[in-house]
Amino acid sequence: MKSATQPAANHPYLRRPNYTILTLSLPILASLVAEPVTGLVDTAFVSQLGTEPLAALGVGAGALTSILWIFSFLGIATQTEVAQTSGRGQLRETSRAVSLALAMGLIASLLLVLAMLPGGTVLSQLLGAEGAVLLLSDQYIQLRLLGAPAVIIIFVGFGALRGLQDMRSPLWIALGINIANIALDYLLIFGWAFVPPLGVAGAGLASSLSQWLGALWLLWGLHRRLGLSRDFDWQAGLRLLRVGGDLVIRSGALTLFLLFATRVATQMSAEAGAAHQVIRQVWFFAALIAEALASTAQSLVGYFMGSAQMVTARRVALSCTGWSLATGVALLFIALVATPLVADVFVPPEATAVFHLAWLVAALTQPLNALAFVTDGIHWGTGDYRFLRNVMLLATGCALAALALLPTQTDEAFAGVWLAMLLWMGIRAFWGVVRLTPGIGEIPFRR
């Protein structure tokens, strides 16, 4: 589909709206699956090493994933900018915006690596890791950090391609990353021939190497398509930083909640930490359907707003919201049916006792996840970043207060971690929907 380069009046959505949403969303879903599949593969392999290595993986992966999410604003802002400039037919501005975002992302990622390399142990301790869990999580973090620049390049590059409504290129790159990670995981975790077994550290190294392969592939593709250059518009960089301020605050609040939830679960016991790692990975995996619809909504809403078709942009938003809610309800029932399978495949026997109630709560969050994610995408597409920041601050404040009230001396309270997650997502979903309809405040659709 090459709708990003054609007049808005001929856009396929105007002729076949539901078909267009699905054909854009399905490749996004497949590409988004790569990251949680990487996590699930890591979890499945490392769970064979025991409870402490699995808990260490949860601490290390949770810490780095959450920190790297802070830089996801580059991908979000790039996708909206590209979608809107495409709607206006300003393809030269698209090229300059993508080049600038990549340069800023590379600089930021290098600073992150330099700052974090000596601090892996401190970060693990902040998340409640001790003893063997602390040692193993530190090893994982050190090696996984080497792939941080590649991850941020992928954020920006995927945002650019999706803003152009090219959803298939990110899919092939994501599949390549995932296949490479699976092969490297088995080789580096367990060893083979002349390669020694590295355990949890091998999982971190495998992730870094596979992410770099994907980043180089992506840079090559972007250069061929857009002609990347050093002709940066630094004033646009300042605007990106201002937008990024709202998104960084939002991402920081999101990160704070997820890190604190991991800390609370880890402090309860190694069994609770292991169960939390399993539930968190499967929960993120299930939420990706809503995130795929959110990315589609962001690109289409941004595109039609760029071409000054506000009525069509709002129609896209309502259609994507309906699709997302329906899938969220379906995921709730799928999660309930899959409970025995998840417990048998991913949960160590000693962690089973604390798993089931928390898993039930996580399943109940799925419809709320659907609404929260898709409305995030809609409001990203309109550039309504400050509103999303304020909602995230409100939701995080309430959920952190709930987590702080949980006792960490016993793992029986572990389900409370996921009740706090349900509260967090519920607040985000409510305000995301009412901003769209009936439309409180000065919403961009009224401009």
In DSSP notation, 221-265 reads HHHHHH---S---HHHHHHHHHHHHHHHHHHHHHHHHHHHHHHHH
Mean pLDDT across the chain, nearest whole number? Answer: 85
Q: What is the pLDDT of residues 393-424, one digit of tens each?
A: 999 999 999 999 888 777 678 889 999 999 99
How much of the chain exceeds pLDDT 90, in percent? 33
Is the peptide bond prior to 438 cis by the omega test (within 30 degrees of 0)?
yes
Q: Give φ, ψ of 195 to 5 degrees.
A: -90, 120
Q: Which of 83, 107, 102, 111 is nearest to 219 (CA)?
A: 102
Residue 338 has pLDDT above 60, yes or no: yes
354 vs 92: which has the higher pLDDT: 354
Could you tell me the CA-to-CA distances from 269 to 82, 128, 211, 265, 432 in Å, in that order? 46, 10, 32, 7, 35
Provide the pLDDT confidence category of residue 265 given band limits of 50, 70 and 90.
Answer: confident
Provide the pLDDT confidence category of residue 204 given band limits of 50, 70 and 90.
Answer: confident
pLDDT at 171: 92
For the ranges 121-135, 169-183, 228-242, the one whose mean pLDDT is highest: 169-183
Q: What is the mean pLDDT of residues 14-27?
A: 92
Provide the pLDDT confidence category of residue 301 given band limits of 50, 70 and 90.
Answer: very high
Residue 184 has pLDDT above 60, yes or no: yes
Provide the pLDDT confidence category of residue 51 given band limits of 50, 70 and 90.
Answer: confident
pLDDT at 237: 65
323 with 293: CB under 8 angstroms? yes
Residue 246 zone, left/alpha/beta (φ > 0; ψ -120 to 50; rest)? alpha
Query: Both ends of the chain: CA-CA distance in Å?
Result: 29
pLDDT at 98: 86
Residue 40 has pLDDT above 50, yes or no: yes
Q: Which of 179, 120, 113 is nearest to 152 (CA)?
A: 113
Provide the pLDDT confidence category of residue 5 given band limits of 50, 70 and 90.
Answer: very low
How much of the chain exceeds pLDDT 70, in percent? 94
Could you tell me the CA-to-CA distances from 444 to 9, 302, 305, 429, 441 in Å, in that order? 21, 11, 9, 19, 9
Q: What is the mean pLDDT of residues 39-58?
A: 82
375 with 323: CB under 8 angstroms? no
260 with 402: CB under 8 angstroms? no
3 state SS of 173 = helix
Q: What is the pLDDT of residues 267-286, one digit of tens each?
A: 888 888 888 888 887 887 77
Q: Which of 421, 367, 365 is nearest to 395 (CA)?
A: 421
Residue 113 has pLDDT above 70, yes or no: yes
Residue 240 has pLDDT above 60, yes or no: yes
Report d(CA 172, CA 185) in Å as an integer. 20
Q: How many CB atoms lie within 10 A of CB 353?
A: 15
Which residues have C-beta within 8 Å of that of residue 194, sequence separation ≥ 6? none
Provide the pLDDT confidence category of residue 169 given band limits of 50, 70 and 90.
Answer: very high
Provide the pLDDT confidence category of residue 4 given band limits of 50, 70 and 90.
Answer: very low
Residue 233 has pLDDT above 90, yes or no: no
294 with 78: CB under 8 angstroms? no
Residue 196 has pLDDT above 90, yes or no: no
252 vs 361: which has the higher pLDDT: 361
pLDDT at 446: 65
424 vs 133: which has the higher pLDDT: 424
